[in-house]
């Protein structure tokens, strides 16, 4: 039994969809979530810049004595996960591998689409992970600029959102995919619109659900599960405005917000140097 908390971070509030699934799947565990809202979005940034941010946040969470770290941000997972795993003495879970495994097990025609930010697509992380699992797959990678920002701004049902979603889903439909990975933690909030646009027969792979499953497997394998009879606690850190973090994040978490504190970017930068 290990009473230490699980650390989780994201570029903003999208990772709260992952936390939501983890709170349902692992109600006995404690979680500390850090949303880097002060530097959101990560998608348009370079791989090197995202990697630097991920290093700073991971270093800060390790200083809080977390037993497991979850990189809930797909862009950060794509840019930094193997790099972090090589440099940190900690168990780290990301979104790419569990989603890729689920997609390979789901597809029938071996045509898999990936919807993600520019940084995630440019990293090639999903393409590599999928082809390592099945070299015969056809992977159609669709970058979705601004989609995460629109969702985070609360624009989830406007004509602009409908037009944007159709522009990103049409190439996947034309390619004949039967499975689509939602490669950003924001995208589950517009699942109904994505499903309608892609068609009812297309299977959508949710990063939040698959990551929560992977967290459970790692906890069991490492023997670091908390007392199963207790009710876990969860708290939040963010680098931007706290009130905005709570109001924007509420639809993502779908649970009460508790213990929200602001952490300055300068503090993360110091943690990354130490």
Task: Check 22, 144, 184, 238 and give the catalytic one.
Answer: 184
Task: Return phi, psi of residue 143, to 5°.
Answer: -70, 145
Could you tell me if 35 and 236 are in contact, meaning their C-beta atoms sit under 8 angstroms apart? yes
- Cα 242 to Cα 239: distance, rounded to the nearest angstrom: 8
Could you tell me if 219 and 22 are in contact, meaning their C-beta atoms sit under 8 angstroms apart? no
Task: Check 22, 73, 144, 238 and give the catalytic one.
Answer: 73
Q: Tell me whether residue 22 is one of the annotated catalytic residues.
A: no
Could you tell me if 31 and 246 are in contact, meaning their C-beta atoms sit under 8 angstroms apart? no
Q: Tell me whether residue 73 is one of the annotated catalytic residues.
A: yes
SS3 letters for 159-217?
Answer: HHHHHHHHHHHHHHHHCCCCEEEEECCCHHHHHHHHHHHHCCCCEEEEHHHHHHHHHHH
Could you tell me if 117 and 75 are in contact, meaning their C-beta atoms sit under 8 angstroms apart? yes
* Interacting residues of 135 by C-beta distance below 8 A, sequence separation 6+: none
Q: Could you please report the per-residue DSSP string of 209-248?
A: HHHHHHHHHHHHHHT-PPPTTSPP-EEEEESS-HHHHHHH
Spatial CA neighbour of 66 closest among 235, 273, 253, 238: 235
Task: Return phi, psi of residue 5, to 5°.
Answer: -80, 165
* Interacting residues of 262 by C-beta distance below 8 A, sequence separation 6+: 237, 238, 239, 240, 241, 242
What residues are annotated to the active site?
73, 184
């Amino acid at each position: 039994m290990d009473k230490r908390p699980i650390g989780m971070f994201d570029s903003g509030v999208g990772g709260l969809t992952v936390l939501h699934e983890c709170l349902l799947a692992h109600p006995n565990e404690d979680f500390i979530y850090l949303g880097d809202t002060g530097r959101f979005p990560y998608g348009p940034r370079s791989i090197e810049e995202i990697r630097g941010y991920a290093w700073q946040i991971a270093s800060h969470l390790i200083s809080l004595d977390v037993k497991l770290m979850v990189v809930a941000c797909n862009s950060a997972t794509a840019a930094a996960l193997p790099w972090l795993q090589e440099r940190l003495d900690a168990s780290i879970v990301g979104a790419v591998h569990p989603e890729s495994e689920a997609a390979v097990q789901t597809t029938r025609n071996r045509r898999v689409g990936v919807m993600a930010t520019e940084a995630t697509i440019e990293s090639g992380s999903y393409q590599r992970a999928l082809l390592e699992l099945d070299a015969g797959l056809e992977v159609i990678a669709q970058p979705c600029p601004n989609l995460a920002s629109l969702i985070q701004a609360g624009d989830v049902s406007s004509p602009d959102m409908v037009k944007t979603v159709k522009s990103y889903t049409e190439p996947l439909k034309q390619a004949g995919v039967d499975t689509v990975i939602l490669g950003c933690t924001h995208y589950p909030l517009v699942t109904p619109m994505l499903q309608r646009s892609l068609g009812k027969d297309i299977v959508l792979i949710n990063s939040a659900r698959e990551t929560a499953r992977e967290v459970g497997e790692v906890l069991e394998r490492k023997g670091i599960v908390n007392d199963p009879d207790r009710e876990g606690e969860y708290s939040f850190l963010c680098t931007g405005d706290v009130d905005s973090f709570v109001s924007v994040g509420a639809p993502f978490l779908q649970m009460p917000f508790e213990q929200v504190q602001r952490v300055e970017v300068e503090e993360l930068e110091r943690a990354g140097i130490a």
